[in-house]
Homo-oligomer: A and B are copies of this chain.
Amino acid sequence: MRIIPLGTSSGKPTLNRNVSATAVVGEGEWWLFDCGEATQIQIARAGLSPHKLVGIFITHLHGDHFNGLPGLLSTMALDKRERELIIVGPPGIRDYLDLLGRLRILFINYSLRVRELSPEYFTDRLQELVYESAKYTVVTRPLDHRIFALGYRIEEKMKPGRFDVDKARELGIPVGPLYSKLQSGEEITLVDGRVIHPLQVLGPPRPGKSVSYCLDTRPCENAVVLARDVDWLIYEATYTREFIEEARQYGHSTAAQAAMTARESNARHLLITHFSSRYPDAWPLLEEARNIFPETTMAEDLMEIDV
């Protein structure tokens, strides 16, 4: 998997940083987390194919996380998209798309599945599985912003253990289709009647890679849970620590709080983003986070991170 930040500024774009959007790229499919204005341009600059985009996951309905949606959806219609697209986010998205359709601002000619999750939905459950394909899952939990916001975690499914070719030879299994059967978890019977169980030739199952996306939010338990043992935690660092009161008031986190969340959740790496435009230079934010969590990277628009 790869992470490509498409916009790393909070509130409004600067000449170097667009507003919030992050691509996470898997095998044959990719996902977009938030969709601020001009995200479709950033997607083109990053060289990503909109045809392989399968899901858009919106954290909350502030414009700087959301205003790029109609442009991206329209362009995919102009480009004759055929694949179904899912959009997940807080309530309001459907009303918004309906009005845009009625006003003829937006035309969509492919299948669009909108899944809205309200605060009430989480009164009797902790998290929700909102996407599943053969290889990947996405779950969501509410975060703690000044309006309802969702955090996400995308995970590659457990991969089968590595196939031990030497062991297979020792057992006298003929090279060919029986190998694939064992690899996919099936027992086989050899011509001499011996039954071979997959575990005899497969190593231990390997955990898939994982990425969490938590913005906008104050530090909260659900962000820690979403980021538990994750390979990369993408987390907002809107302010430096001297603005902790402002962060609390507006429902944001400081760089230090981002780092503490990464440490508490045992994340392997932290990617900080969503920088206030008061920082023309985001290095103070990186320094503050690294003092607490050394494995911190500062997001730049269009950088690429190998998960």
Tell whether A229 is near chain B: CB-to-CB under 8 Å: no
A105 touches B74 (CB 8 A): no
CB-contact partner of A147 in B68, B74, B104, B147, under 8 A? B104
Q: Looking at the complex, which one of B19, B41, B105 makes contact with A63 (CB distance below 8 Å)?
A: B105
A96 and B92: CB pair below 8 A?
A: no
A61: Cβ under 8 A from any B Cβ: yes
A67 x B71 contact (CB < 8 A): yes
Q: Give the number of copies in the complex.
A: 2
B74 engages A63 (CB within 8 Å): yes
Is A75's beta carbon under 8 Å from chain B? yes
Asked whether, in the complex, the Cβ of B44 is within 8 Å of the Cβ of A104, the reply is: no
**Given contacts A37-B38, A95-B99, A99-B95, is CB(A67)–CB(B105) below 8 Å?**
yes
* A18–chain B nearest beta-carbon distance, Å: 8
Q: Give chain A interface residues in 78-106, CB to chain B under 8 Å.
A: 78-79, 92, 95-96, 99-100, 103-106
A2 on interface, CB distance cutoff 8 Å: no
With A61-B105, A63-B105, A104-B61 as known contacts, state yes or no: A37 contacts B95, CB within 8 Å: no
Which secondary structure characterizes the binding site on chain A? loop
Interface: A12 (CB within 8 A): yes
Interface residues of A in 58-76 (CB under 8 A from B): 61-64, 66-68, 70-71, 74-75
Is B41 within 8 A of A74, CB to CB?
no
Give bound CA distance, A62 to B101, whole Å.
Answer: 10
Asked whether A63 lies within 8 Å of B70 as measured between CB atoms, the reply is yes
A19 to B99, CA, bound (A): 21
A62 to B70, CA, bound (A): 11
**Cβ distance A250 to chain B, nearest Cβ, rounded Å:** 12
- Using CB atoms, name the residue of chain B closest to A36: B71
Residue from the list B14, B62, B78, B106 in contact with A12, Cβ < 8 A: B78
Contacts of A44 in B (CB 8 A): 13-15
Nearest chain B CB to A71's CB is how many angstroms away?
4
Q: Does A45 contact B (CB under 8 A)?
A: yes
**Which residues of chain B have C-beta atoms less than 8 A from A96's C-beta?**
99-100, 103, 105
Closest-CB distance, A40 to chain B (whole angstroms): 7
16 A-B residue contacts at CB 8 Å? A12-B71, A12-B74, A15-B41, A18-B41, A19-B71, A61-B103, A61-B104, A63-B70, A63-B100, A64-B71, A67-B67, A67-B70, A92-B103, A96-B99, A99-B99, A104-B147
For the complex with contacts A15-B41, A62-B105, A67-B105, 8 further pairs of A-B residues with Cβ separation under 8 Å are A13-B41, A18-B41, A37-B41, A61-B104, A63-B71, A63-B105, A67-B74, A99-B99
Q: Which 3 A-B pairs rank lowest in CB-CB distance, beginning with the nearest?
A: A38-B38, A37-B71, A92-B103
Spell out A's residues near B (CB within 8 Å): 11-15, 18-19, 37-38, 40-41, 44-45, 61-64, 66-68, 70-71, 74-75, 78-79, 92, 95-96, 99-100, 103-106, 147
